[in-house]
Structure 1
Amino acid sequence: MATADNKNSFLKKIIKIILAFGPGIFAIGYTIGTGSVTSMIVAGSKFNMQLLWVLLLSCLFSGVLMFAYGNYGLITGDTALYGFKKHLKYGKALAILIIIGITFGQWNSLMGILGISSNIIYEILAINFEGLSDHKYGIVLTIAVIIIVVFYLLMLIGKYSFFEKILVIFVTLMGFSFIFSLYFVNPLPNDVVKGLMPTIPDVPGGKMLVAAFVGTTMAAATFLSRPLFVQGKGWTLKNLKQQKRDSIVASILIFIISGTIMAVAAGALFYEGKEVTHVIDMANTLEPVAGKWAVTIFFFGALSAGLSSIFPCLLIAPLLLADYQSGKLDTNSKQFRIVTFIACLVALIGPAFGANPIEIQILSQVFNVFVLPAVILGIILLVNNKKVMKDYKTSIWVNVGLYAAMFFSLVISFNGIVALTEYF
């Protein structure tokens, strides 16, 4: 009896720790979606662990940017775009540019996310029920419509704590699914070490994947939304240390989960000479070594990743507009309902035209890098303005991190332009 009580007590403690996780859960939800999963699997299958260094740098700079934006929000009480408009000389134009750029990237990403999630559910059904292959288009489109309608209805409930709890469930399932998958396959330790040495694969698609990596891991939406989610959590100046810890933990978890996905793909596919071009190929990541049961678990992780990204992607446009207008997000407003409804319609474009969701997803991640330098420049100017920061001094190490992130984002943006010109 005592053993059962101890087990229940231990389980309650774990659940309490997971639910206590702060706004960082949104960072993980934004970052590790099907875009990240797709990029990591394609990279692992094509290039082994060669792009691990890109992931490491992206996560490092993501942690710095989350911390800087979170501190700015707690100290000033302002949100990001509202702060740009209020305090920067050309802040209004910068804010509008950022809203357009991020919304375009996130809505494109939403098409890929919905397409991949619908295809994953279809593939799970096809594994268990024969004869569905003749009706793939209709089934995938029907699943996509059901998913987006359900999520839109959930959005109308509109409370921060509600969104946070659902994301906690999806992110936890996703993390455990991928880490469990790593038990079946893993890359050679030597390849992991080599992957930390900066190199860009000199093959068609190499530059594209580097840009996609940064676009999905250093997601501008993650940092811009940070002050709003910090406010939604009810944090104040007393929570500065907690905000710092939350940023660090979020960036570490993003690196661990993303690296695990890449390692699974490298261990299962790269050594076999197989590549991923369609959603069903992702099943091949585990089937040769672990059978259909493990494939279902891996798909379940990928599906959790997709569903955990739909909420943040639907939220981003109304969130940015509210940020720009007043710094407050009203999830019960008419504007919120209309903008999220438009986002839902955009999400259905990919499945409706039967487009390859993997190509859509990688391209959308590349577009995300172009707005990143503007987002980093804005926060550098704000956190170093003594009047704005109320005499709070930003440390030299945070500034070094921000300027390094700026340089990195400019290099990757240039790389992204080269990649797109080669692609088109």
Structure 2
Amino acid sequence: MDKITTFFKLLLPGIFLFGFTVGTGSVTSMAKAGADYGMSLLWTIFISCAITFFLISLFGKFTLATGLTALQAFKKHIHPAVSLFFIVALTTQISGSVIGVMGILADVCYEWSKNFVDGGISPLYCSLFFIAFVYVIFLIGKIEVFEKVLALFVAVMAVCFLINFFILMPPAMDIAQGMIPNIPDTSPDKSAFLVIASMVGTTVFSGLFILRTILVKEAGWTLADAKIQNRDALFSAFLMFIVSMSIMAAAAGSLYVEGITLVNVTQMIYLLEPLAGAAAVTIFTIGLIAAGISSQFPNVALLPWLLDDFFERKPNLKRTSYRIIALVISSLGLIVPIFNAKPIAVMVSSQAFGALVLPATVASIFYVGNKASLMKEYKFSTVTNVLLVLIFIFALVMSYMSYNGIMTTLRSL
């Protein structure tokens, strides 16, 4: 029993990263891709998860070799402004994420509750409940409690989406063909490039890699733990691929075959029932709620962690200032229910920052990883540098796609 407990403790950093990445934004992107293009964009998930694994592992190795987190290295060996840029940019991103997560959760719970309550439960009450739940856990102030609760919701999410995968699974040949890179035909009301960019953006998230270095340092791992670090990174990326594929497959096996275009993930609540039955809807809804809550935990705690990391002090979520910060960020989740509208301006600014952050993240780790005085014998190899250059180019292309998508969205308002 002790060995099993120890094993799961070793996997907690990977589970934490997985919960951070796969939230309602990921569910929306993967479901949209499956509904519009079937399994033809599965290769995008695979490449995104492969890049994520490489960068999680690389950032972890960097901390093992130097003893510095990413923010600390950028601050000391590039310029403090670089670290401050990441803090501001990532906070902007997660603020937009909190607004979106709570907006989707509130809408989903409202639609689903109509099956049990006449008229449904108000989206505002749903948001208040989820915000209060996450904030109370934050107030406890213990990272161990945070991790265990997050692991529970991650497990529920993964099981729900996997069950839905087997219920709605498309033909195996479609899944296999989806691993072959291709760009599906587009139409005026569909943009494969924008869908691809959103899928990559929700998976290859810069905050993930910067947070990884903090978790590795907090875990007390050394170079002797390099194998554990790699296994943990692989476990996290593998979970991302399996769950993301399951979400895409559920939409492909139901909505795509019926020719139904997905505009909002909330549609899945009432579109799935005639196609797959009430059980599939219930399982999908529970998985979606778990995904939203699991991503909300790191969203609320990210800025306090980044600030403690920047000032090189021991993480302490019980600071009064951090509790106020967490309350303010959590309260952003009330914007959609209160104003009954999508906060377009906030979402667009969040995406705009996101388009800049990934290339900047890759460029920054490339610079410090090749600094001989810092890395010594652990300086990045030629192969690592080539891969980083390729990822940087890939990130620029995705940023361009995201920019075009944002401009298109603005022009359509």
> Who is 2:150 aligned against?
167
Whole-Å separation in 1 of the counterparts to 2:263 and 2:354:
21
> Who is 1:132 aligned against?
119
Whole-Å separation in 2 of the counterparts to 1:283 and 1:342:
30
> Who is 1:3 aligned against?
none
CA separation of 1:409 and 1:327: change in aligned 2, threshold 3 A: farther
Q: Determine if the alignment matches structure 1 residue 314 to structure 2 residue 297.
A: no
The letter of the residue matching 2:295 is: S
Q: Determine if the alignment matches structure 1 residue 407 to structure 2 residue 393.
A: yes
The letter of the residue matching 2:186 is: D
Q: Determine if the alignment matches structure 1 residue 335 to structure 2 residue 321.
A: yes
Q: CA deviation at 1:97?
A: 1.9
Q: Determine if the alignment matches structure 1 residue 348 to structure 2 residue 334.
A: yes
Asked if the contact 1:26–1:222 (Cα under 8 Å) also holds between the matched residues in 2, the reply is: no
Asked if the contact 2:348–2:406 (Cα under 8 Å) also holds between the matched residues in 1, the reply is: no
Whole-Å separation in 1 of the counterparts to 2:250 and 2:348:
19
CA separation of 1:363 and 1:268: change in aligned 2, threshold 3 A: farther
> Who is 2:311 aligned against?
325
Whole-Å separation in 2 of the counterparts to 1:34 and 1:81:
27
CA deviations 1:364-407 (Å, max 9, x no partner) are 56752331111111111122222212422434433333222111
Whole-Å separation in 2 of the counterparts to 1:284 and 1:141:
21
The DSSP-based 3-state class of the residue aligned with 1:421 is helix
CA separation of 1:37 and 1:361: change in aligned 2, threshold 3 A: farther
> Who is 1:224 aligned against?
210
The DSSP-based 3-state class of the residue aligned with 1:187 is coil
Identical counterparts, % of pairs: 36
> Who is 1:80 aligned against?
70
> Who is 2:249 aligned against?
263
Whole-Å separation in 1 of the counterparts to 2:346 and 2:256:
23
TM-score with structure 1 setting the length:
0.89
Q: CA deviation at 1:220?
A: 0.7
The letter of the residue matching 1:132 is: G
Q: CA deviation at 1:360?
A: 8.4
Mapping of residues 192-271 of structure 1, within 5 Å:
192-196=175-179, 197-199=181-183, 201-203=185-187, 204-271=190-257
The letter of the residue matching 2:97 is: S
CA deviations 1:121-156 (Å, max 9, x no partner) are 223321223x215xx6xx110111121122112112
Whole-Å separation in 2 of the counterparts to 1:362 and 1:214:
17
> Who is 1:4 aligned against?
none
CA deviations 1:84-117 (Å, max 9, x no partner) are 01011xx322222222221111110111111122
CA deviations 1:335-387 (Å, max 9, x no partner) are 32122122112222122212359998799567523311111111111222222
TM-score with structure 2 setting the length:
0.91
Whole-Å separation in 1 of the counterparts to 2:360 and 2:185:
27
CA deviations 1:187-237 (Å, max 9, x no partner) are 233433443313165334433222211111001110010111112323233
Q: Which of 352-361 and 235-244 deviates more?
A: 352-361
Q: Which of 38-47 and 393-402 deviates more?
A: 393-402
Q: CA deviation at 1:327?
A: 5.9
Asked if the contact 1:73–1:227 (Cα under 8 Å) also holds between the matched residues in 2, the reply is: yes
Aligned residues: 407
> Who is 1:6 aligned against?
none
Q: Which of 316-325 and 106-115 deviates more?
A: 316-325
Whole-Å separation in 2 of the counterparts to 1:45 and 1:14:
39
Q: 5+ unaligned residues in a row in structure 1: which ranges?
A: 1-8
Asked if the contact 2:14–2:233 (Cα under 8 Å) also holds between the matched residues in 1, the reply is: yes
Whole-Å separation in 1 of the counterparts to 2:81 and 2:352:
23
Asked if the contact 1:82–1:327 (Cα under 8 Å) also holds between the matched residues in 2, the reply is: no
The letter of the residue matching 1:28 is: F
Asked if the contact 1:113–1:361 (Cα under 8 Å) also holds between the matched residues in 2, the reply is: no
Q: Which of 362-371 and 112-121 deviates more?
A: 362-371
Residue 23 of structure 2: which of 33, 38, 46 is its match? 33
Residue 180 of structure 1: which of 154, 157, 163 is its match? 163
Whole-Å separation in 1 of the counterparts to 2:345 and 2:328:
23
Asked if the contact 1:228–1:327 (Cα under 8 Å) also holds between the matched residues in 2, the reply is: no
Whole-Å separation in 1 of the counterparts to 2:227 and 2:358:
26
User: Could you say what the CA RMSD is over the residues aligned between the two structures, in angstroms?
Assistant: 2.5
Residue 416 of structure 1: which of 392, 402, 405 is its match? 402
CA separation of 1:19 and 1:275: change in aligned 2, threshold 3 A: farther
The letter of the residue matching 1:124 is: W
> Who is 2:359 aligned against?
373
The DSSP-based 3-state class of the residue aligned with 1:145 is helix
> Who is 2:89 aligned against?
101
The letter of the residue matching 1:254 is: M
CA separation of 1:216 and 1:31: change in aligned 2, threshold 3 A: same
Q: Determine if the alignment matches structure 1 residue 112 to structure 2 residue 96.
A: no
Whole-Å separation in 2 of the counterparts to 1:175 and 1:357:
29
CA separation of 1:384 and 1:399: change in aligned 2, threshold 3 A: same
CA separation of 1:375 and 1:269: change in aligned 2, threshold 3 A: same
Asked if the contact 2:38–2:252 (Cα under 8 Å) also holds between the matched residues in 1, the reply is: yes
The DSSP-based 3-state class of the residue aligned with 1:198 is coil
Asked if the contact 1:212–1:365 (Cα under 8 Å) also holds between the matched residues in 2, the reply is: no
